[in-house]
Amino acid sequence: MVRQIYLIATGIVFTISIWMIFLWAPTEINQGQVQRILYLHVPFAWASMVAIIAIAFTSFLFLLTKNDRWDNLSQSLAEVGLVSAVVMLFSGIVWAKPVWGVWWTGEAKLTTALVLFFIYCAYLLFRNYFPPGNARNRIAAIIALIGAIDSPIIYYAAQIWEQNHPKAVVGPLASEESSLNGEMVITLLFCVLTVTLLFVGLVWTQYQTNKLLRSKNV
């Protein structure tokens, strides 16, 4: 019941954020309408980054306590984290083409995001392919920890890589910093709050679903 009320409240907040994105926030002068993608891209990027840290934390707690609830939470976080990573990548690609002139560049953040997506895939594939049981849950927790430890190294490597490759210089924003006005900042922060609420709601729902599936040994 509590979860249903929470999800309805999230739905209302989400509707308000849609109104803010398309009707309340002004159109950015340089980028035009395409800039509105950032109101979804940034929050989903935030959600997918937070998810990997949360998975590492819950996996560590699982290894420490051997309590199945932490393992279930890690799995649910990874499933929702993967969806967030897909939304982040797709919205980023759609935004980059008209603004940078290219779909993809070797930028550190982009490379890290893509590898992060593959880490989520690897974690979930492992859970799917490995025979169920204590060994699978323990090894999955170890993989999650390794993925989280590797993420900052990947980011650092991508930064060095970026120095070797020219950045995309096509587009109106290529050589200048973007500036958001007050209403845009409020909209962006509201969207971050909305996606965070949505993320928690989805993880919560997924947690209950996985709990049910585990009790039925599916």
Partner 1 sequence: MLNWFKVLSILIKKDIKIEFQTKETLVTLCLFGLLIITVFSLSTENNSLINQNFGAGILWSSVIFAGSIAMVKFFYHEEQNKTLQSLLVMPVPSELILFSKSIVFFIFLSISEIIIFLISSVLFNLNIFSLKLILGCIVFNIGYSVVGSFFGVISSKSSSKEILLTMLLIPIITPILMFIIATTNDVIRSELNSNFQTWLGLGISFDIIFLTLMSYLFGKILED
Binding site for partner 1 (CB under 8 A): 63, 111, 115, 118-119, 121-122, 125-126, 129-131, 134-135, 138-139, 142-143, 145-147, 149-150, 153-154, 156-158, 160-161, 163-164
Smallest separation, CB 164 to partner 1 (Å): 6
Smallest separation, CB 107 to partner 1 (Å): 13
Instruction: Considering the complex, state which of residue 109 and residue 138 has its C-beta at the smaller distance from partner 1.
Output: 138
Smallest separation, CB 52 to partner 1 (Å): 12
DSSP conformation class of 103:
S
Instruction: Considering the complex, state which of residue 158 and residue 197 has its C-beta at the smaller distance from partner 1.
Output: 158
Instruction: Considering the complex, state which of residue 66 and residue 69 has its C-beta at the smaller distance from partner 1.
Output: 66
Contact 201, 4 (CB under 8 A): no
User: What's the rounded Cα separation, in Å, for the pair 38 and 113?
Assistant: 15
Question: What stretches of 27-178 show up as alpha helix (H) in DSSP?
Answer: 38-65, 68-100, 108-129, 134-164
Instruction: Considering the complex, state which of residue 12 and residue 142 has its C-beta at the smaller distance from partner 1.
Output: 142
Instruction: Considering the complex, state which of residue 34 and residue 122 has its C-beta at the smaller distance from partner 1.
Output: 122
CB-neighbour burial class of residue 39 (10 A; exposed 0-12, middle 13-18, buried 19+):
buried
Non-local CB neighbours of 56 within 8 Å, separated by 6+ positions: 144, 145, 147, 148, 149
Smallest separation, CB 163 to partner 1 (Å): 6
Non-local CB neighbours of 42 within 8 Å, separated by 6+ positions: 188, 191, 192
Non-local CB neighbours of 194 within 8 Å, separated by 6+ positions: 10, 13, 14, 16, 17, 43
Instruction: Considering the complex, state which of residue 159 and residue 205 has its C-beta at the smaller distance from partner 1.
Output: 159
Smallest separation, CB 207 to partner 1 (Å): 24
Smallest separation, CB 146 to partner 1 (Å): 6
